[in-house]
Structure 1
Amino acid sequence: MKKITLILLGLLLFNCKGPEPRRAIKQSSGSIIKESVARNKRLLQEEEKLFQEIIAKDTTNTYLHSDTGSWYFYNVKDTTNSYTAKPKDLVTMTYTILSTNNDTIYSYKEIDTIKYKVDLQELFPGLRHSVKLLKENETATFLYPSSLGYGYHGDTKKIGVNVPLKATISILKIEKENK
């Protein structure tokens, strides 16, 4: 009886392994992601080419390129003020959204004056970045690639899929965060 117990105990010890991870039944090659990256690069190149054409035709304004990928020019520039909005500041502003053909998508009247807590409230990416470039009482017009606009979803109302945008933003007031 002792022999049988020892044999069973020995078999249990040698047959017990650690848990084996389950393997995926189907392994993807990542080709969908590679195709998506290539498509997005082509789209950005096309939009940059469109922006360069717009800039070349507009001889009255001097365009600047932001670190985030938008192009812009000042309609009204304040050379006396140096403070730009920082995270958690409260910014009062107005803006309008246009197509790259200058057709109004959302007017100042539709959007109205908004108060925006910098980096704590949702705005489309380009607008979030642009607010931090402008000073109080400044107005600028921005060209946004679709990736900085509403991207591949659009806004489900007036802005379609992968639409580059033009926006004119006016900063009316910047209230610094109270620390």
Structure 2
Amino acid sequence: MRSTSQFLYLALAAGTISLYSCNKGSGDFAKTKSGVEYKLFKNEGGKFTSKELSESDTTYKGRIGKIISLEVEYRTAKDSVLFNSRKQQGVPVMVPLQEVTTKGGLEEAISMLQPGDSGVFRFNLDTIFARSFKTPVPPFMKKAGNTMTVYAKAVKLMTRDEAMVEQQKMMAEQQQKMMAYAEQQLKKDDVILQDYIKKNNLKAQKSPDGIYYIVNTAGTGAKPKTGQLVSVQYKGTLLDGKEFDSSAKSNQGKPIQFPLGVGQVIPGWDKGIALLSKGTKGTLLIPSSLAYGQRGAGTDIPADAPLRFDVELVDIQNAPAAPQGGPAMGR
């Protein structure tokens, strides 16, 4: 669990909840003495009604030291979504409540919320980044305008022990949902990949994991084993041919090196490279569940995108022995 400012900054660096409807037709923003513009709402029988903020409210002192779970969404001045906890995490975020030492930032905004409350907060970009993050405003946000709007819904107030239990429970539930989603998506991706193979007249083999692989030039060496260091030249494209990465661009034309099967690359690479002999030049067609899944990756790889990698397994080496008393390589 991170501090409020740490969480928001990480979320912005990475990238619609029902709160957005609360903002429509609900009048102008109120404003704190420190400059935070806000609209507060309380839940009464399933309906959100406006809530006034009392300047003499002392209830926050009783919440300091506890953890509040929040559903949040951040939007630029042009109303573009920067981050949505429900869509991008699937679970509420956990925020430790601390004494508000710096007014005018996100910390003060969160202090206004009690469990069940919702809020819409509008900040001046220069102010919130200076006060909450101590860092310059990212250029892409400046380009969209001078404000950022945060929609937040306070779900539950907990002790730290309760929050740990809640977080473990939510992660387990989210894992089950992701596995079920991936299973269904794998079936859809298989249809897409089979169609791609047919249209491009490819002679592909299919692994038990659902990866299709094509050997263009067969190697003469052994196949790599888990833990061995493999060196790979590659080019990654979407199925429409759009290139999103390559060793030529990312590694100055040199093959990348990584220990196989220890999770340093996407699962489709750990499993797919293991199918090839040293010296093989081939193609891996990887379903999205073994690539970047429903989240995608940046702006280049959409959600649920099967990927094509043209690869060459250049070399295989045994991993260096770990020093005595030290951890093994790759752990």
Structure 1 segment 60-139 matched on structure 2, within 5 A: 61-78=202-219, 81-112=220-251, 113-120=255-262, 122-139=264-281
CA RMSD across the alignment? 2.8
Cα distance in 2 for residues equivalent to 1:88 and 1:36: 27
CA contact (8 A) 2:224 2:230 kept: yes
Cα distance in 2 for residues equivalent to 1:114 and 1:34: 33
AA aligned to 2:291 is G
Cα distance in 2 for residues equivalent to 1:173 and 1:45: 33
> Structure 1 residues 34, 149: CA separation in 2 closer, same or farther (over 3 Å shift)?
closer
Which secondary structure does the structure 2 equivalent of 1:54 belong to? helix
TM-score (norm 2): 0.40
> Structure 1 residues 45, 136: CA separation in 2 closer, same or farther (over 3 Å shift)?
same
Q: Which has the larger displacement, 157-166 or 167-176?
A: 157-166
CA positional deviation for 1:119: 2.3
Say which structure, 1 or 2, has more relative contact order (CA 8 Å, 6+ apart).
Answer: 1
TM-score (norm 1): 0.71
CA-to-aligned-CA distance 1:42-81 (integer Å, 9 cap, x gap): 422221111111111222x310001221111112112xx2
Q: Report the structure number with the largest CA radius of gyration.
A: 1
Which secondary structure does the structure 1 equivalent of 2:295 belong to? coil
**Identical-pair percentage:** 22
CA contact (8 A) 2:267 2:291 kept: yes
AA aligned to 1:158 is D
Q: What are structure 1's unaligned runs of at least 5 residues?
A: 1-30
Q: Which has the larger displacement, 84-93 or 154-163?
A: 154-163
Provide the aligned length of Structure 1 versus Structure 2. 149
> Structure 1 residues 44, 82: CA separation in 2 closer, same or farther (over 3 Å shift)?
same
Q: What are structure 2's unaligned runs of at least 5 residues?
A: 1-172, 322-331
Task: Compare the two structures and name the one with the higher strand fraction.
Answer: 2
Cα distance in 2 for residues equivalent to 1:42 and 1:117: 30
